[in-house]
Amino acid sequence: MHRFIINRLLWGIPVLILVTIVTFGFMQLVPGGPFTAGSEGRPVPPEIQANMEAKYGLDKPVWQQYLNYMERLIFHFDFGPSLRKPGRSVNSILFGENQVAKIVMERLRRDLGSEAQGITFLEEPGFMSTEVILVKKGEIYGKVKIYGSERLEALRRTLSTAPVMVSAQVGAVSLLIAIAVGIPLGLFSALKQNTWIDYLAMFISLLGVSIPNFVLGIILIFVFAIWLGWLPVYGWGESWKQVIMPAVTLGTGGTAFIARLTRASMLETIRQDYIRTARAKGLHERAVVVRHALKNSMIPVVTVLGPLTAAWLTGSFLVEWVFSIPGIGKFFVTSIGDRDYTLIMGTILIYAGALVMFNLAVDITYAFIDPRIRYD
Amino acid sequence: MTVRSSAAPAVIELEEARKGVGLWGDAWQRLLRNRAAVAGMIFSAILVICALFADTALIVAIPNALGADLDVKPLLTPYPFNRGDTRCNRMGPSLLPPSRQEGCIQDIEKYGNFPHLMGTDRLGRDVFSRVIWGTRISLTVGIVGSLTALIIGTVYGAISGYFGGRIDNYMMRFVDVMYGFPTLLFVILIMVVLPSENAVQGMINIFIAIGVVGWMGMARLIRGQFLSLREKEFIEAARMVGTRPLSIIFRHLLPNSLGPAIVALTLSIPGLILTEAVLSFIGLGVPPPFPSWGIMVNEGWRGLRATPHLTIFPGLAITITMMAFNFLGDGLRDALDPMMRGTT
């Protein structure tokens, strides 16, 4: 078993390297670069563009850029500087540096309201939030969004949580929902096959599979935040209530899929001979269902949970956009639009790494579920 | 058990009932017995009609090609999708014609007087008409995208599955690597790479992007079918009598893989519709003059508090459409392959 785990972990390395190569190649194909368009879409003079490219080493041959990048990544775990967010490294964007958060917070406390000293408020139409740009020694130090200027405490918590962790928190709650709701729903509808319980459960799960993330999120906001007023509309870090709607939005599709999968797998399992044997030797119905049937029908569910977990824990663009959550999901889309090569690479690597890890976890789980599966 | 005692006569009865009904006829009968699938089928048919006859473009196309000068006008929809009376913007849904609605001063001479069933958007355009028109984009993406995926996937999977061995191994590893990328990310990358000068080009780009990511599942399915089928006795028999490989592929292997392929095709349509809606929602999809449901949700959700109808109706349209195709696909699967009943 140990050898298997180590073996598989080692296999993850060439996979991740392949991902970096393909991503690097793709970025060369994408027209335009990080410095072809200025802040408001104005064209950048070619001299400045060349200087910028020289600064970040983009003028070198592609293979050399790649090797430099990989060297930094492997030996220093450094994802490089962000090309479009001046003065920030990809590491600090994704993993956040609590040190930075602290300094930003201190500056904000001291300087709030006195814009001249280095804080600029940008009103963003529609969002009803305030974007704050912190300037230090003439350079943009950081950009944060606050929802109402008095909510400093929320800002502090948001800042002290790394974006990776924010996404992971939403994903983890979604995962809990998927497991705690999806599996029982599928189980009961399989046990009550062709009754109204089954039909209702399957109708609900088909609805769950069919409703797009963003539509569900907006409907939830409309019903629970605007209409009933039970939950906050958006935001992060102020209250545990803010995690409910994003997590439900993210988790519904997967929950419904897991319910359908559990049902299908259960229906197949309960027709197996060993279930009949278990019943024949007089086992409790509950023992038969839980210990024998459910456990054995979890193989396809666990298989799906692997990639699902990887995708959920690394954040969802739509959910983070709709609910204004400071996670890393948004970088999956914005970094491509910005041509922020290092940030694209960072986000894809995080996802691919999570995928490798959770697929390994799936394989290990197999051995626990089904003793027939061995890895020696 | 009761099943054992009644099984034998039931089989005979069924055999009689099925006399003269082929495999497909049989599947059709089973499909018709599934109420959810029939509902899905009817709704899908309505959507197709909406998509085809939202305006008179289809009816006018042939006379136009022959030189007649006919205007394209709304046919199934009361209003055009791209024009509206801005004085009548952001109106809530109503069953009353505009002339009898308080506060509405719509130019009836110009735009007509049909009730705004789903209200109007910020430019005074009729949401109901735009939702109907939206079916055209969603269905085209769904059907063209899944057909593209079917063609690429079938060719790829057939080659891989028929030859097997090393070729199969390499071809499938490539599919594995392609699977390693998040779908949405991949589509976005393709959309960014492809040039889009005008709206039509933008539409075509979406088809390409969606087709390119959709074929992998189909390739795996066809390859799996081929791998298992080519070991069957009837293929061996065909080989033995000297049938050529192409003939084996087209006459024997492909028709036998068709059932699962059709099921996968139907079940892939909602996924493609979703991808298009998501792309349009985040502003990377269909360019604005076209009324895509995703764009409509995007245009509406910032004003959710004041004008929820701008978001809710197109959102419901996406959901119901996806449900209809999912029901139809589930039903088709149960009908074409009773052994697989209930599997996801």
Which residues have a Cβ under 8 Å from the Cβ of A352 and sit 6 or more positions away? Answer: A15, A16, A19, B180
Q: Report if residue B173 sits inside a domain.
A: yes
Name chain B contacts of A207, Cβ cutoff 8 Å. Answer: 319, 323
Q: How many CB atoms lie within 10 A of CB A353?
A: 16
Helices (H) and strands (E) in chain A, counts: 18, 3
In a domain, B193, yes or no: yes
Contact A322 B301 (CB under 8 A): yes
B178 in any annotated domain: yes
- Residue B249: the pLDDT is 83
pLDDT(A113) > 70: no
Say how far apart CA A355 and CA B211 lie, in whole Å: 24
Nearest residue, CB atoms, B305 vs list A215, A226, A352: A226
Domain annotation covers residue B81: no
- Reported as a single tens digit per residue, the pLDDT across B185-200 is 777 777 777 776 666 7
**C-alpha span between A93 and A203 (Å, rounded):** 42
User: What pLDDT is attached to residue A18?
Assistant: 86
Q: How far apart are CA A376 and CA B193, in angstroms?
A: 46
Which residues in chain B have their CB less than 8 angstroms from residue A322's CB?
Answer: 301
CA B50 to chain centroid, in Å, comes to 14
pLDDT surpasses 50 at A149: no
The pLDDT > 90 percentage for chain A reads: 13
Listed range (A234-248, A288-302, B91-105, B204-218) with the worst mean pLDDT: B91-105
Kindly report, residue by residue over A264-297, the tens digit of the pLDDT: 888 888 888 888 888 888 888 888 888 888 888 8
Confidence of residue A123 (pLDDT cuts 50, 70, 90): very low
Residues of chain A in contact with residue B316, where contact means CB-CB under 8 angstroms, are 215
Give the Cα separation of B46 and A348 in Å (integer). Answer: 41
pLDDT of the residue at A313: 92
The beta-carbon neighbor of B327 closest among A206, A317, A355 is A206
Provide the pLDDT for residue B342: 45
> Which of A142-151, A170-179, B16-25, B332-341 has the highest average model confidence (pLDDT)?
A170-179
Q: Does B181 touch chain A (CB under 8 A)?
A: yes
Q: Distance between CA B329 and CA A204 in Å, rounded?
A: 16
User: Is a pLDDT exceeding 70 seen at residue B274?
Assistant: yes
Lowest mean pLDDT among A25-34, B70-79, B130-139: B70-79
On whether any CB of chain B is under 8 Å from the CB of A17, the answer is: no
Q: In what order do the strands lie in the sheet with A130-136?
A: A119-123, A130-136, A139-146
pLDDT of amino acid A56:
84
Q: Name the phi and psi angles at A141, rounded to 5.
A: -90, -35
Closest CA to A295 of A351, A226, A366, A242: A366
What pLDDT shows up at residue A110?
A: 57
pLDDT of residue B210: 79
Q: What is the pLDDT of residue B5?
A: 45
Q: Provide the 8-state DSSP code for B74.
A: B
Contact criterion met (CB below 8 Å) for A321 and A332? no
Give yes or no for B3 touching A (CB within 8 A).
no
Nearest to A214 among B182, B297, B312 (CB): B297
Alpha-carbon distance of A272 to A288, in angstroms, equals 12
pLDDT score for A184: 93
List CB contacts of B296: < 8 A, sequence separation 6 or more: B121, B127, B130, B131, B134, B310, B311, B313, B314
Alpha carbons within 13 angstroms on the beta-carbon side of residue A102 total: 3
Give the number of A-B residue pairs with CB atoms closer than 8 Å.
Answer: 99
Cβ of A214 and B270 within 8 Å?
Answer: no
Looking at residues B174-185, what average pLDDT do you find? 74
Task: Tell me if B56 is assigned to some domain.
Answer: no
CA pair distance A261, A187, nearest whole angstrom? 10
CATH of the domain at B278: 1.10.3720.10
At residue A114, the pLDDT reads 40
Chain-centre distance for alpha carbon A260? 23
Which pLDDT score is estimated for A137?
A: 43
Q: Do A210 and B323 touch (CB under 8 A)?
A: yes
Count of domains observed in chain B = 1
A333–B277: do the CB atoms touch at under 8 Å? no
Q: Cβ contacts (< 8 Å) between A311 and chain B: which residues?
A: 182
- Kindly write down the DSSP assignment for every residue of B28-44, as one continuous string: HHHHHH-HHHHHHHHHH
Which chain A residues are closer than 8 Å to B308 by Cβ? 222, 226
Does B327 sit within 8 Å of A355, measured CB to CB? no
Q: What is the pLDDT of residue A106?
A: 58
Identify which has the larger pLDDT, B202 or A186: A186
Using only C-alpha atoms, chain A has a radius of gyration, in whole angstroms, of 25
In a domain, B7, yes or no: no
CB contact under 8 A, A206 and B330: yes
Does B330 contact chain A (CB < 8 Å)? yes
Q: Is B322 within a domain? A: yes
Are the beta carbons of B282 and A333 separated by less than 8 Å? yes
Window 206-265 of A: residues touching B by CB (8 A cutoff) are 206-207, 209-215, 218-219, 221-222, 226, 257, 260-261, 263-264
Residues 54-113 of A with CB under 8 A from B: none
Which residue among B180, B185, B343 sits closest to A332, beta carbon to beta carbon? B185
For residues B11 and A303, the model is more confident at: A303
Contact flag A211-B189 (C-beta cutoff 8 Å):
no
Query: Does A206 sit within 8 Å of B323, measured CB to CB?
Result: yes
Q: How far, in Å, CA of B305 to CA of B311, rounded?
A: 10
The Cα B272–Cα B322 span in angstroms is 10
The mean-pLDDT minimum among A5-19, A36-50, B162-176, B309-323 falls in A36-50
For residue A92, the model assigns a pLDDT of 76
User: Which pLDDT band, with edges at 50, 70 and 90, does A304 fall under?
Assistant: confident
**What is the C-alpha to C-alpha distance for residues B271 and B143, in angstroms, rounded to an integer?**
11
How confident is the model over A235-253, as pLDDT tens digits? 676 678 888 999 999 999 9
With beta carbons less than 8 A apart as the criterion, state whether A266 and A293 touch. Answer: yes
Torsion from C-alpha of A263, A266, A270, A271, nearest 10 degrees: 80
Q: Answer whether residue B169 is part of any domain.
A: yes
On chain A, the residues whose CB falls within 8 A of the CB of B181 are 19, 22, 348
In terms of pLDDT, which residue wins out, A49 or B103? A49
**Assessment of whether the complete model's pTM goes beyond 0.90:** no
Q: Which tens digit of pLDDT belongs to each residue from A61-81?
A: 888 888 988 888 888 888 888
Report the pLDDT averaged over residues B282-308: 80
Q: What is the pLDDT of residue A246?
A: 92
Q: Where do the DSSP E strands lie in chain A?
A: 119-123, 130-136, 139-146
Q: Do B278 and A212 touch (CB under 8 A)?
A: yes
Kindly state whether A304 is in contact with chain B, defined as any CB-CB distance less than 8 angstroms.
no
Question: Is 90 exceeded by the pLDDT of residue A255?
Answer: yes
Which residue in the set B177, B188, B270 is minimally distant from A333, CB to CB? B188
How much is the average pLDDT of B239-253?
A: 84
For every residue of B183-219, DSSP letters joined together read HHHHHHHHHHHS---SHHHHHHHHHHHHHHHHHHHHH
Mean pLDDT for chain B?
77
Residue B170 belongs to domain spanning: 132-340
CB contact under 8 A, B304 and A221: yes
Could you please report the per-residue DSSP string of A162-182? -HHHHHHHHHHHHHHHIIIII
String of DSSP letters for A103-119: HHHHHHHHHTT-GGGTE
